[in-house]
Amino acid sequence: MRIVAGSRKGHRIEAPKGVVTRPTGDRVREAAFALVGPVDGAKVLDVFAGSGAMGLEALSRGATRCVFVERDKGACKVIQRNLEKLRLTGAIVLCQEANRTMREEAARGRCYELILVDAPYEDWERHERALGELLRDLLDTDGLAVIETSSRVEPELPLALVTTRRYGSARITVFSR
């Protein structure tokens, strides 16, 4: 995998070994950021970060801060190594459960201009309700939430639908507050 655009364009990034993590491919990342537009100066939350590819892409494209949330310790180490290799600053990796972290961030009054969510495809239904409740509190007034699901799933969240597009086996759905 490579960073698609920005200050680290073309740099290779590592993905966790095994089948637990499904990194977002280059084409899907490129399409997602084309839908979102510029992220210069944005505060980003990358939930279910996995390889961290989406958050790394946001930092490369000019986001000033990214909080990566991933419960798998091996994946957290990979994200940290990628950050060091790419010399990207303004990032923190939280190796803990996503919904708990999102509740804590909301309780602290934190808001993000861009929230990236890539829950395991097979667990989407289990996470959808909680995400719907939490994303509204975490999204900045003009913020966007980018949800990646299986192409067969059309997420329904209590947010304003901006667009939804299919890319092979993936679907990118963008919501606003």
Residue 91 in domain: yes
Looking at residue 135, what is its pLDDT?
A: 95
Helix or strand or coil: residue 54? Answer: helix
User: In total, how many domains does the chain have?
Assistant: 1
More confident residue, 15 or 24: 15
* Model confidence pLDDT, tens digit, residues 61-111: 999 999 999 999 999 999 999 999 999 999 999 999 999 999 999 999 999
pTM of the complete model:
0.94
Give the integer Cα–Cα distance in Å for 133 and 138.
Answer: 10
Residue 131 in domain: yes
7-16, 88-97, 133-142: lowest mean pLDDT where?
7-16
Mean pLDDT of 103-127: 94
Structure tokens at 28: 């899907």
Q: Which domain holds residue 112?
A: 26-176
Among the listed residues 12, 23, 14, 19, the one whose alpha carbon sits nearest the alpha carbon of residue 46: 23
Give the integer Cα–Cα distance in Å for 92 and 158.
Answer: 28
CATH number of the CATH domain containing 118: 3.40.50.150
Residue 157 in domain: yes
From residue 59, alpha-carbon distances to 37, 93, 115, 119, 122 in Å are: 14, 13, 13, 20, 28
- Measured in whole angstroms, the distance separating CA 10 from the mean position of its chain's CA atoms is 20
Looking at residue 18, what is its pLDDT?
A: 58
Residue 19 in domain: no
The half-sphere exposure of 155 on its side-chain side, counting CA atoms within 13 A, is 35
- Strands 160-167, 139-150: pairing is unpaired
Residue 21 in domain: no
Residue 4 in domain: no
pLDDT band at 25 (very low <50, low <70, confident <90, very high): confident
Residue 88 in domain: yes
pLDDT band at 21 (very low <50, low <70, confident <90, very high): low
Residue 37 in domain: yes
